[in-house]
Chains A and B, each alone.
Chain A
Amino acid sequence: MPMTQRKIRVLVAKPGLDGHDRGAKTVASALRDHGMEVIYTGLHQAPEAIAEIAAQEDVDVVGLSILSGAHMALFPRVRAELAKRGMGHVLLTGGGIIPQDDMAALEAQGYTKLFGPGTPTEAIAKWITAAMEERLKNQGAQ
């Protein structure tokens, strides 16, 4: 393994008071197994904290895991906090219990793709890899 290879760095975060962490941990390990460097925040993170961690770690992807029903509020708050720190460029994605209509609404607002219960983790990893390849091709090294 070349030591200085460009790796996809991902932050998997649990915002708010939601205590369901199985999905976040499952997704984090799956992404690791697909060759990504994954930072998991642990539970109960404020949007400011998530954005601050993303900035310090210079991640490419921020994935929110939300099973509490607060997704319509949390996604925009995290995005705003990211933008404040010059991290508006990260690929923001996520999953959890998000009703179809909400998912469509969020995706229409530009929150890339969101994944619901039962999604094979393989599909999530493949989607992130493809999205990042596309971005790196367009931007070159940054």
Chain B
Amino acid sequence: MAAAETLAARIERGDRTALARMISWAENGDARFAGELAALWPRVGRAWRVGVTGPPGTGKSTLVNELARVERSRERTVGICAVDPSSPFTGGALLGDRIRMDDRTLDPGVFIRSMASRGSHGGLARAAASACDALDAFGFATILLETVGVGQAEYDVLDAADTVVVVLCPGAGDGIQAMKAGLLEVADVLVVNKSDLPGAERLQNDLLEAVHVRFTKRAWAVPVVAASAGTSKGTEDVLEAVSQHRAHVESSGLEAVRRRKRIEQVRHSVSEQLSERLWGPQGLRSRVEVELARGHSPHAIAAALLAEVTMGISKLSEARR
């Protein structure tokens, strides 16, 4: 089937099947993605991207569904990208987030895409940011990006979202100290979900205290919002906190903030792919094995390989000049 029209053109006309295919190209590392996105690039940057992260089972998907419901009641369109983990053993995945978003399926102002992490360790899939770019180009006003259930060291969402909402709930592990310290660092908005359950108030107080201790010197005071997504309570308050954060970022220079995040995105993406090239199936492993057998030390081998890689990079940048 020869498609006369490009995906970019179809996306500009609002063709959802084209949007879906574009995201698949990003996921599959299809070289055509870059060209389509380049054509759409002037349309990218209009959406506000809200990352929703937190430990497994705290109600992220339920909250995303609620946020989408309220945004729609305000006639704002919503693009959703929800990431679930791939099995490291089989590479397969059960993508279950959208079961909680069932009421949104037939709303033409909502588009939901489930994504498997495919071995990415930062809490997102490698293609998640690209998917958000595609959703943004399509014209959704708000983009909600749900991460896999994270523990502490998965921060990719920080660079992919304009506002990071961290969702916690009572009972999910005692104390917020060790385990969630890292999560607190990435939060622009903290949500105590399941506030219908006992222990919510205590968690909220603990968080307020932690936020107060940590962030006194920062310009943005991270709000702690109580919600109960399961019973549709507090969603407006979460959105209000998000829009206050948005106003804060916009007043302090949105372009600079976004550029910083883009740099980090590029940095991560290059490191990740470089490491895959270097150590993947066609990579250096067997050479290292040979050198070791010849009696060279790991240190010497590493230094030699690094020198080669660095030389390759400087040749490249010379050629550019």
Chain A interface (Cβ within 8 Å of chain B)? 1-7, 9, 28-29, 31-42, 46, 48-49, 52-53, 55-58, 85-87, 141-142
Q: Which residues of B contact A86 (CB under 8 A)?
A: 17
Q: How far is the CB of A124 from chain B (nearest CB, A)?
A: 14
B93 contacts A52, CB within 8 Å? no
Question: B257-284 interface mask toward A, CB cutoff 8 Å, 1 = contact, 0 = none?
Answer: 0000000000000001000100010000
8 additional A-B pairs beyond A4-B127, A34-B90, A38-B92, beta carbons within 8 Å, are: A3-B29, A3-B125, A5-B118, A6-B28, A28-B94, A32-B93, A38-B94, A57-B20
Picked from B90, B105, B114, B120, the residue with its CB within 8 Å of the CB of A35 is B90
The reply on B23 being an interface residue by CB < 8 A is yes
A32 contacts B102, CB within 8 Å? no
Q: Which residues of A contact B99 (CB under 8 A)?
A: 40-42
Q: Which residues of A contact B113 (CB under 8 A)?
A: 56-57
Closest to B272 in A: A3
Q: How far is the CA of A2 from the CA of B105 in the complex (A)?
A: 31
- Contact status of A49 and B105, CB under 8 A, knowing A5-B118, A57-B20: yes
Q: How far is the CB of A103 from chain B (nearest CB, A)?
A: 27
A4 contacts B29, CB within 8 Å? yes
The reply on B88 being an interface residue by CB < 8 A is yes
The reply on B126 being an interface residue by CB < 8 A is yes
B90 contacts A49, CB within 8 Å? no
The reply on B136 being an interface residue by CB < 8 A is no
B20 contacts A55, CB within 8 Å? yes
Q: How far is the CA of A102 from the CA of B301 in the complex (A)?
A: 66
Chain B interface (Cβ within 8 Å of chain A)? 16-17, 20-21, 23-24, 27-30, 86-88, 90-96, 98-99, 102, 105-106, 111-114, 116, 118-120, 125-127, 272, 276, 280
Q: Which residues of A contact B127 (CB under 8 A)?
A: 4
A49 contacts B94, CB within 8 Å? no
Closest to A32 in B: B92
A52 contacts B17, CB within 8 Å? no
- Contact status of A3 and B126, CB under 8 A, knowing A36-B92, A56-B16, A57-B20: yes
B126 contacts A85, CB within 8 Å? no
Closest to B125 in A: A3
Q: Which residues of B contact A48 (CB under 8 A)?
A: 106
In the complex, 23 of the A-B residue pairs with CB atoms within 8 angstroms, ordered by the A residue number, are: A1-B86, A1-B88, A4-B28, A4-B118, A6-B28, A7-B27, A7-B118, A29-B94, A31-B92, A33-B90, A33-B92, A37-B86, A37-B93, A38-B92, A38-B95, A39-B98, A49-B106, A52-B106, A56-B16, A56-B113, A58-B24, A141-B28, A142-B21
A58 contacts B20, CB within 8 Å? yes
A56 contacts B112, CB within 8 Å? yes
Q: How far is the CB of B36 from chain A (nearest CB, A)?
A: 14
